């Protein structure tokens, strides 16, 4: 039995993950920490757990094996470092940090302690996206030359995000940016998994409609490769649901279109250029949700899905940080051509 704690409750995604955690027979939810009393009260009421105001107090009082990190991006990364140093395995919500410095520190700590670190990207649990990645990696559409992903909605507040979530999500310091960091991260993550680290990054971002924000509400991130180009789009102002969360993977022999909200995956080839719907294969049990996958990695000591590996999260953070630089300067920015980190 793996004993879990939670550090931070201000990231709304935590309430989507907790039902899976308490429903897993190999996991026990023990305690949570938060600086927001109403969130602690909710966690205590719904899950009958112990509540603490900080992780040090929780560490002194509880015997834990692993923690979930669901605070803001900056303090979340800092708390994840402390958790690894305490001997806990860590699952942290995407992206891995608010900036590259935080991501590097987190990765170095995981490496030095030997404890497991997994980044949760919610899109990987959509069967359509998961299968599209697998098909592309298997060579079903030939050589991948472009990944295009659009993440969009009317805005966190308009979509019903809590006041605690919006409080830091709209803060460039605690979030690391605005829509670019929040939503272009998905396209960057998919591109890295399927095409590796890009050589150059160019981004455009701005406050198009929400001029009262301190951060951008729309962004486009362009990733350039020797033989490819990928595009990540982000919007906090889109009214419709016709084009949000679409994943398109272009290959030399075909195209894959994943539309999770429509529950379908399409494959286009030279013989069927209009595309045909592909039957979705039910994922293995450990690939059906973040908790199942995290526990599988801890217990089996096998690698996490490529999208969820810490080294991949660090590379995505670098792309995002350079994208912010490009948007600010109007210049194309080169990535350091290091070996990809696991």
Strands (E), 180-309: 200-206, 218-225, 228-235, 246-251, 254-259, 264-268, 276-277
What CATH fold (topology level) applies to the domain 123-284+314-334? Dihydrodipicolinate Reductase; domain 2 (3.30.360)
What are the angstrom distances between the C-alpha of 234 and each of 59, 128, 205?
38, 20, 9
Give the closest residue to 318 by CA, choosing from 338, 303, 298, 301. 338
Per-residue confidence (pLDDT) for residue 168, from 0 to 100: 96
Tell whether the model's pLDDT for residue 20 goes beyond 50: yes
Domain at 2-121+291-304, CATH homologous superfamily: NAD(P)-binding Rossmann-like Domain (3.40.50.720)
pLDDT single digits (tens) 297-314: 999 999 999 999 999 999
| Cα of 277 vs its chain's centroid, Å | 27
338 band by pLDDT with thresholds 50, 70 and 90: low
Instruction: Centre a 10 Å sphere on the Cβ of residue 127 and count the other Cβ atoms it contains.
Output: 18
Q: 162: closest CA among 237, 70, 234?
A: 70
Segment 189-208, tens digit of pLDDT: 999 999 999 999 999 999 99
Question: What backbone phi and psi angles, to 5 degrees, belong to 109?
Answer: -70, -40
Q: What is the pLDDT of residue 339?
A: 52
DSSP letter for each residue of 219-251:
EEEEEEETTEEEEEEEES----SSSTTEEEEEE
242-261, pLDDT tens digit by residue? 788 899 999 999 999 999 98
Task: For residue range 119-156, list pLDDT tens digits in order.
Answer: 999 999 999 999 999 999 999 999 999 999 999 999 99
The per-residue pLDDT for 243 is 80
pLDDT at residue 218, rounded to an integer? 97
Q: What is the pLDDT of residue 244?
A: 81
Q: Residue 213: which H helix or E strand, with range?
A: none
pTM for the whole thing?
0.95
Would you list the domain boundaries of the chain? Answer: 2-121+291-304, 123-284+314-334
Cis peptide bond N-terminal to 95, omega within 30 = yes
What confidence category does residue 341 fall into, taking pLDDT thresholds of 50, 70 and 90? very low
């Amino acid at each position: 039995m793996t004993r879990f704690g939670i550090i931070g409750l201000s990231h709304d995604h935590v309430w989507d993950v907790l039902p899976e955690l308490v429903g897993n027979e190999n996991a026990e939810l023990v305690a949570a920490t938060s600086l927001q009393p109403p969130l602690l009260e909710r966690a205590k009421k719904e899950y009958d757990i112990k509540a603490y105001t900080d992780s040090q107090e929780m560490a002194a009082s509880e015997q834990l094996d692993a923690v979930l990190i669901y605070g803001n991006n900056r303090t979340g990364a800092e708390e994840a470092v402390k958790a690894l140093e305490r001997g806990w395995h860590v699952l942290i919500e995407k992206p891995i940090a608010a900036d590259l410095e935080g991501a590097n520190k987190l990765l170095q700590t995981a490496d030095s302690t030997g404890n497991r670190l997994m980044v949760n990207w919610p899109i990987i649990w959509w069967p359509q996206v998961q299968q599209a990645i697998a098909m592309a990696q298997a060579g079903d559409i030939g050589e991948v030359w472009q990944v295009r992903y659009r993440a969009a909605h009317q805005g966190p507040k308009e979509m019903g995000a809590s006041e605690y979530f919006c409080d830091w999500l709209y803060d460039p310091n605690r979030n690391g940016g605005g829509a670019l960091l929040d939503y272009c991260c998905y396209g960057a993550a998919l591109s890295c998994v399927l095409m590796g680290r890009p050589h150059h990054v160019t981004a455009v971002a701005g406050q198009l409609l929400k001029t009262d924000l301190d951060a951008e509400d729309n962004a486009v991130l362009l990733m350039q490769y020797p033989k490819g180009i990928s595009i990540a789009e982000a919007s906090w102002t889109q009214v419709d649901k016709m084009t949000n969360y679409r994943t398109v993977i272009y290959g030399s022999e075909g195209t894959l279109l994943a539309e999770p909200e429509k529950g379908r995956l399409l494959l286009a080839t030279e013989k069927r250029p209009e595309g045909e719907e592909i039957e979705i294969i039910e994922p293995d049990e450990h690939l059906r949700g973040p908790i199942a996958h995290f526990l599988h990695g801890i217990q089996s000591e096998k690698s996490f899905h490529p999208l969820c590996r810490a080294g991949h999260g660090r590379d995505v953070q670098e792309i995002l940080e350079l994208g912010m630089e490009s948007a600010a300067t109007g210049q194309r920015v080169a990535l350091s051509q290091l070996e990809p980190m696991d």
